[in-house]
Amino acid sequence: MKEIVCKLLVIGAGPGGYICAIRAGQLGVDTVIVEAVKAGGTCLNIGCIPSKALIHAAEEFEKVSHMASAKSPLGISVEAPKLDLAKTIAWKDGIVGRLNSGVLGLLRKARVKIVHGRAKFRDGKTVEVETETGVQVIRAETIVIATGSEPVELPFLPFGGPVISSTEALSLKTVPQKLVVVGGGYIGLELGTAFAKIGSKVTVVEATSQILPQYDAELVKPVAKRLADLGIRVLTGAKAKGLSGSALLIETAEGAEEQLAADKILVTVGRKPRTEGWGLDELDLDRAGKFLRIDDRCRTSMRGVHAIGDITGEPMLAHRAMAQGEMVAEIVAGKKRIWDKRCIPAVCFTDPEIVTAGLSPDEARAQGYEIRVGQFPFNANGRAMTMLSEEGFVRIVARADSNLVLGIQAVGSGVSELSSAFALAIEMGARLEDIAATIHAHPTRSEGFQEAALKALGHALHI
């Protein structure tokens, strides 16, 4: 097979990789991208997109179920709904397929050559790809590693049989009667909540003292209340020990052993960089723990080799990878770029949703800032009332001396759609006065953002 020579080779067509390749192609860079599975990577195929589809279907099912129970205050009554999970999954797969085809189309439009197969490094300039028609050798001036991440497998709970990862959970054709979720982080709670809404009896086992340990307790409280309302049993300070027949053996916070009967055991204890099988040992790349070490231009320790996305560490978010990919493409094309982001917003699609951007109050204090905090509850927001979703709040953290906004957090229904406004305020160097003086449309949930700024300034209008 004839050797391919190019200026830029991108390994991995996930969000970071395909954005890097598309932007490089737009800039006239001769680009090749290699993908072992499907364009779009984990996020599009077995992560962000399919999980949000399942979450939406579960929300719709629960709404109708609530109306059928004669508990709805809206005056709507319906027959008890039924769910065909196989049809739901087929609908989800259709969305994934459309987006997958869209990514391939965008790559072709940018004149990027796509090679399907698994890449393996020979050296810092050369890879060989196992394709359906044989080994393809590719030589490039610059290589971008964008191989992503994969679920962490517990040695005493290997995937297989009743033990599943998020990948298998998103392809189930029937609803498990009893689902045990090992790990109370965002992936476990997003999926656990969805399955509870469509009929599973869900138990969450979390080793730390709080679910969603990366968030402060105030943000987590509305989520914990909702889990209880849905009948989800949450065991914090509990450790999974292994299988006992078809049950999960755990050690409770009190030190007692308990067996949790389960049709499926969903293990969501984190993700690890996908570094095995790529021939990375052939390269002399510095590591930061498990991850590849990069600088503020996403350069690794080897000249001509960049790395982006999950393989470079936290935050392991698709939109971070995309921003890194765009930047690297422009650097390869000769533009002067550097990573200078003030914040990367993060969204937890639980019920209610959580959004964070910038510093929390504790993080700001830990960095030595004197701060003022403004918080506005959604139970004082007209739009939230009319949507029967009054739980949660918006919170703004600002410097006490200058009112410069350092961080914004929110928990509530649909607050993921406020994440861009939060990030923009921080990136633009907004002060409390800027947000307070910006007219926010009424009636919208976004008014809580303005009211939180007013509260921090000492003159909230609606509380």
What domains appear along the chain, each with residue ranges and CATH number? 4-46+89-150+272-332 (3.50.50.60), 163-269 (3.50.50.60), 346-457 (3.30.390.30)
* Pairwise CA distance, residues 150 & 267, whole Å: 12
pLDDT number for residue 71 = 76
**Phi, psi dihedrals of residue 450, rounded to the nearest 5°:** -65, -45
Integer Cα distance of 253 and 134 in angstroms: 54
Q: According to the model, what pLDDT value does residue 17 have?
A: 98
Before 158, cis peptide (omega within 30)?
no
To the query of whether residue 56 is one of the catalytic residues in this protein, the response is no
Query: Cβ(222)–Cβ(199) under 8 Å?
Result: no
pLDDT along the chain (463 residues), means of 10: 93 97 98 95 93 97 90 88 96 96 97 96 94 94 97 95 96 97 97 98 97 96 98 97 93 95 97 91 90 97 97 97 98 97 97 98 98 98 96 98 98 97 98 98 97 96 92
pLDDT score, position 284: 84
Q: Rounded distance, CA 265 to CA 323, Å?
A: 35
Alpha-carbon distance of 426 to 429, in angstroms, equals 5
The Cα angle at residue 149 between residues 137 and 311, in degrees rounded to 5: 70
One-letter amino acid for residue 35 of the chain: E
Residue type, 183: G
Question: What is the layout of strands, in order, in the sheet containing 247-251?
Answer: 239-244, 247-251, 257-261
| Candidate list 319, 442, 459, 462, residue with the active-site label | 442
Distance CA 430, CA 422 (A): 10
215 by DSSP, 3-state: which? coil
Supply the pLDDT for residue 2: 83
Query: Which pLDDT score, from 0 to 100, does residue 320 have?
Result: 98
How much is the pLDDT for 445? 97
Alpha helices in 344-411 (DSSP H): 361-366, 382-386
The torsion angles phi and psi of 73, rounded to 5 degrees, stand at: -80, 0
Position 257 scores a pLDDT of 95
